[in-house]
């Protein structure tokens, strides 16, 4: 039996950018026909393909620079043709002299883009310049081709702008807080966010979707799992212990263990020789405090997380009972479960809650978080709703019954597609959103 058939990923369907590129190129050819076949639609199509971008903001930037780059190349091209025309009037034409002039002015074109701070358009400026000066050196009237060449680019840019800004009539539910898990919801365990999900999430957020994630992971892990997603809302991290602003890199709200509970828990774990990390805030910075790290599981976890630029590790020293978010334990499964059974019998056990997670690096290792009992993802979601002035929320998750939208299968970008249907449903009442100016 061939088991590979069950794990083979489906061929991805074409995305919006492909269809928009097709429409923009077709529009360029239509305009060419309407112009009486003046100009060259090749240049219009090239400009359109370059300007059809994943996001409106990047499209506007590329379009503006593309037009400026074209004018730079066309201006120098026209000047070069005029020089060549004057040389032909006074002397016998010499191709090598012309090529020397073209080569020298090519450097000037590139330098012009540097002065105008559009260095990334240098290539396209030189393409415009060379297409004018090499292909039309013998033209009696150089103004005509320069005009058509410039118009071709403007038509391509305009076609891309029109296509990119035209949408189906959709409503935008900007008054709803959308909250999603990450692993097993946006993507499967051990995988990364797909290109489609990344692009669509960023586009939805750009269009006003009040979206955030709520996870048991730390803000540092959120950054690593969703590196290119522009999360404008604060994220709910560490299983509801932290509300963290990813842009400002600051904690907006936190639930802390009581100092007395921290001291009791520290003594309890030290007495049983259980090693742990202490996650603490200091001057609005998250710090992971470590001890001797004698056990293999703790060392492995430290080596795995330490290279991250988003984490701050520091050794424990003295009595540390202030601003403690949670304890993270890592050891053999049987040992930690036995210790947790003892913890449940402690008189202060009601002031903490315990979560369990299997260590990915070793089947026999267990990771346990000991958090404040009053911390919860639901409470942080409610606080965020009140802070943003929202009256409703929709949650996406992989646990049936624990969320509004159950994501049973993370294949085919299911979560993002479900989010899109709820944030911007197709509706004729959304006719104002057919053409977007921003």
Domain with residue 304: its CATH number is 3.30.1240.10
Per-residue pLDDT of the chain in tens (438 residues, 90 and over written 9):
343 444 455 566 666 778 888 999 999 999 999 988 888 888 899 888 888 876 556 666 777 788 888 899 989 988 988 887 777 666 655 677 778 888 999 999 999 999 988 888 888 889 888 888 886 665 557 778 788 888 988 898 889 888 887 777 778 899 999 999 998 899 887 678 988 899 889 989 988 999 999 999 999 999 999 999 999 999 999 999 999 999 988 999 999 999 999 999 999 999 999 999 999 999 888 999 999 888 899 999 999 888 888 889 999 988 889 999 999 999 999 999 999 999 999 999 999 999 998 766 567 889 999 999 999 999 999 999 999 999 899 999 998 888 999 998 777 789 999 999 999 887 777 667 676 655
Any domain includes 2: no
Are 85 and 218 found together in one domain?
no
- Of 374, 391, 412, the position where a domain reaches its end is 374
Q: Which helix (H) or strand (E) holds 178?
A: strand 176-180
Residue listed under structure tokens 């950018």 = 17
* CATH number of the domain enclosing 185: 3.40.50.1000
Any domain includes 66: yes
Are 223 and 306 found together in one domain?
no
Are 222 and 264 found together in one domain?
no
Are 227 and 337 found together in one domain?
no
Query: Are 429 and 420 contacting, i.e. CB atoms less than 8 angstroms apart?
Result: no
Are 186 and 234 found together in one domain?
yes
* Rounded Cα gap, residues 35 and 254, in angstroms: 64
- Of 117, 135, 165, the position where a domain reaches its end is 165
Any domain includes 7: no
Any domain includes 39: yes
Angle at 429 between CA 427 and CA 431, to 5 degrees: 90
Which pLDDT value is given to residue 437? 52
Residue 60's domain comprises 16-165
Which pLDDT value is given to residue 332? 92
Are 62 and 96 found together in one domain?
yes
* Pick from 200, 253, 268: nearest CA to 229: 200
Give me the number of domains the chain comprises.
3
* Pick from 33, 30, 28: nearest CA to 45: 28
Any domain includes 158: yes
What's the helix, strand, coil split of the chain in %, to 5? 50, 15, 35
- Of 374, 399, 416, the position where a domain reaches its end is 374
Query: Are 141 and 149 contacting, i.e. CB atoms less than 8 angstroms apart?
Result: no
Are 188 and 267 found together in one domain?
no
Which ranges in 207-258 belong to alpha helices (H)? 219-225
Any domain includes 191: yes
- 67 CB-side CA count, 13 A: 14
Are 260 and 153 found together in one domain?
no
* Pick from 418, 363, 4, 8: nearest CA to 180: 418
* Pick from 76, 143, 155: nearest CA to 113: 76
pTM: 0.72
């Amino acid at each position: 039996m061939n088991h590979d058939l069950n794990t083979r990923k489906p061929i991805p369907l074409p995305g919006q950018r492909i269809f928009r590129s097709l429409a923009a190129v077709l529009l360029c050819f239509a305009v060419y026909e309407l112009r009486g076949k003046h100009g060259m639609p090749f240049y219009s199509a090239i400009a359109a393909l370059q300007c059809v971008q994943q996001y409106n903001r990047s499209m506007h930037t590329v379009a503006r620079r593309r037009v400026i780059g074209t004018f730079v190349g066309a201006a120098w091209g026209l000047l070069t043709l005029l020089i060549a025309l004057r040389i032909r009037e006074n002397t016998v034409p010499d191709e090598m002299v012309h090529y020397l002039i073209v080569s020298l002015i090519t450097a000037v074109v590139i330098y012009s883009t540097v002065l105008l701070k559009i260095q990334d358009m240098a290539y396209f400026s030189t393409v415009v310049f060379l297409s004018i000066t090499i292909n039309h050196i013998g033209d009696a009237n150089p103004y005509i081709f320069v005009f058509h060449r410039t118009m071709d680019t403007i038509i391509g840019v305009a076609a891309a702008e029109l296509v990119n800004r035209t949408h189906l009539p959709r409503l935008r539910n900007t008054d709803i807080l959308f909250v999603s898990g990450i692993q097993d919801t946006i993507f499967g365990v051990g995988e990364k966010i797909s290109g489609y999900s990344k692009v669509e999430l960023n586009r939805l957020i750009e269009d006003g979707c009040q979206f955030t994630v709520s996870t048991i992971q730390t803000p540092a892990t959120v950054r690593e799992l969703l590196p290119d997603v522009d999360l404008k809302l604060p994220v709910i991290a560490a299983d509801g212990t932290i509300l963290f602003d990813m842009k400002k890199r600051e904690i907006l709200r936190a639930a802390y263990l009581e100092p007395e509970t921290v001291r009791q828990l520290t003594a309890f774990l030290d007495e049983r020789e259980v090693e742990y990390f202490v996650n603490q805030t200091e001057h609005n910075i998250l710090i992971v405090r470590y001890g001797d790290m004698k056990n293999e599981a703790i060392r492995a976890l430290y080596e795995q997380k330490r290279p991250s630029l988003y984490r701050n590790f520091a050794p424990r020293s003295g009595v540390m009972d202030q601003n403690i978010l949670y304890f993270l334990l890592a050891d053999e499964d049987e040992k930690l479960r036995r210790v947790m059974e003892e913890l449940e019998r402690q008189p202060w056990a009601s002031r903490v809650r315990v979560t369990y997670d299997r260590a990915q690096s070793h089947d026999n290792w267990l990771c346990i978080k000991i958090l404040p009992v009053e911390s919860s993802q639901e409470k942080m979601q409610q606080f965020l709703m009140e802070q943003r002035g929202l009256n409703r929320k929709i949650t996406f998750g992989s646990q049936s019954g624990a969320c509004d939208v159950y994501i049973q299968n993370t294949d085919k970008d299911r979560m993002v597609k479900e989010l899109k249907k709820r944030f911007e449903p197709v509706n004729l009442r959304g006719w104002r959103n057919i053409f977007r100016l921003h």
